[in-house]
Amino acid sequence: DSILSNVLPAPEDPVLSVIFACRDDPCPVKLNLSVGAYQTEEGKPLVLEVVRKAEQQLANDLYCDKGYLPIDGLADFNKFSAKLILGDDSHAVKENRVVTIQCLSGTGSLRVGAEFLAKHHQQRVIFVPNPTWGNHPFIFTLAGLSVEYFRYYDPHTRGLDFEGMLEDLGAAPSGALVVLQACAHNPTGIDPTLEQWEQIRQIVRSKGLLPFFDNAYQGFASGNLDSDAQSVRMFVADGGECLIAQSFAKNMGLYGERIGALTIVCTSEGVARKVKSQLLLVVRPMYLTPPIHGASIVTTILKNSDMYKDWTIELKGMADRIISMRQQLYEAIQARGTPGDWSHIIKQIGMFSFTGLNEKQVRMMAKEYHIYMTYDGRISMAGLSSKTVPQLADAIHAAVT
């Protein structure tokens, strides 16, 4: 008898069950819109040209080895990642009160930040948007924090419940942590305006809350790296503290390289030094040091002004294709005379669209039209192409009529 025979099966993951259902569908024109990874117009994953170039350069570099990185990762990677999110002339960076450590993509950065907070921050309550990326509650709960929700999405307007959001943040206990998605909110595709961000900042600061930015899509929302960083920079400009989890999965297409960074902006150099020493203690017993390859690719690109420019062009190409898919889908729905207001499809931002379709409609579309999306009605715009837009528009039309 196995000593592990008492292990219970884990509950089914709702996203994975959609992926499996699609995988097992024999229909040749099936369409998987559940996964948050960029695809080309031809439905293929994309390796950026600039990434291939950086990899070639690394392969030819005789001094490039496969040794261990330090616990906090590649020093230049950390320096340039902080610059990317905080901006070239960040006061916080100049004042040496920013700590950045290389982590395992966005997820790993969130987890390391959460472990650090659970150990060193007195207030264990962490507020996340309702709804938010499905992994957030697991990451924070397992790190020992207590997850609560603030209102974010209003199903009636298919927009931001801004009043509700401010009310809930205003009622949060002093010192509580608040997760804010820097741009391209997953799963709703709804971001606050800059004016709304300013009001959020005022509430967060006046209540003494500690913001933890999830920055998984910088550049992917608008196509511009600086525009997408404005929410974060607004909070850093006021001199206060914040945490930022950064990912290069989407914006450099480095999903499987697991490359990202955790940045903690502190109020003084002295605090930053202490924070850094404790972060090393969080990382060492978990995985000792982070992987080298993805960090080397990112650093090569961020350090070289020509490659950086090439990257911004390719990044804008990805963002523009997604924006164009929104427009095409909206027009296709209009052309079919589908009842209802579908303007949220073009108003929403980033990789996802929260269609407003319910679970019953989603199941019907999978069964009859072989189109797969998560049961909350979220579709990945990056999985669409000009060829598949009519199929989706037909299915949406059938689902709501």
- Give catalytic residues, as residue numbers: 133, 214, 250
Structure tokens at 102: 């290389």
d(CA 191, CA 200) in angstroms, rounded, equals 12
> Is 189 near ligand PMP (CB under 6 A)?
no
**Backbone torsions φ then ψ of 160, nearest 5 degrees:** -80, 135
Task: Looking at residues 5 to 34 of the shown chain, list those that interact with ligand PMP (rule: CB under 6 A).
Answer: none
Closest CA to 240 of 272, 276, 279, 205: 205
Task: Candidates 160, 216, 282, 298: give the one binding ligand PMP (CB under 6 A).
Answer: 216
**Measured CA angle at 132 (ends 78, 388), to 5 deg:** 95
388 lies in the site for ligand PMP, by CB under 6 A: no
Residue list 235-254, contact with ligand PMP (CB under 6 A): 247, 249
Q: CB nearest ligand PMP: which residue?
A: 106
Q: Name residues contacting ligand PMP, limited to 128-157 (CB under 6 A).
A: 133
Of the residues 100, 107, 218, 263, which one makes contact with ligand PMP according to CB under 6 A: 107
Compute the least distance from the CB of residue 131 to ligand PMP, in Å: 11
C-beta of 7: minimal distance to ligand PMP in Å? 26
Least distance from ligand PMP to the Cβ atom of residue 251, Å: 10
b/e map 3-28, b = 16+ CB within 10 Å: eeeeeeeeeeeebeebeebbeebeee
Single out the residue of 86, 50, 96 nearest to residue 300, CA to CA: 50
Answer for which of 73, 113, 223, 260 binds ligand PMP (CB under 6 A) is 260
Q: What is the DSSP track for 338-387?
A: -SS--THHHH--SSEEE----HHHHHHHHHHH-EE--TT-EEEGGG--TT
Question: How many whole angstroms separate alpha carbon 217 and alpha carbon 242?
Answer: 18
36 interacts with ligand PMP by CB under 6 A = yes
Q: Residue 259 or 333: which CB sits closer to ligand PMP?
A: 259
SS3 130: strand
What does the per-residue mask of binding to ligand PMP show for 327-356, with x meaning CB under 6 A? ------------------------------
Q: Look up residue 66 and give its two tokens.
A: 């496969």
Among 214, 241, 310, 376, binds ligand PMP (CB under 6 A): 214
165-184 binders of ligand PMP (CB under 6 A):
181
Among 106, 189, 219, 356, binds ligand PMP (CB under 6 A): 106
Asked if residue 294 binds ligand PMP (CB under 6 A), the reply is no
Sequence-ordered list of residues with C-beta below 8 angstroms from that of 321, at least 6 positions apart, any chain: 40, 41, 382
Residue from 318, 241, 235, 277 nearest 51 by CA: 318
Residues that bind ligand PMP (CB under 6 A): 36, 105-107, 133, 181, 186, 214, 216, 247, 249, 255, 260
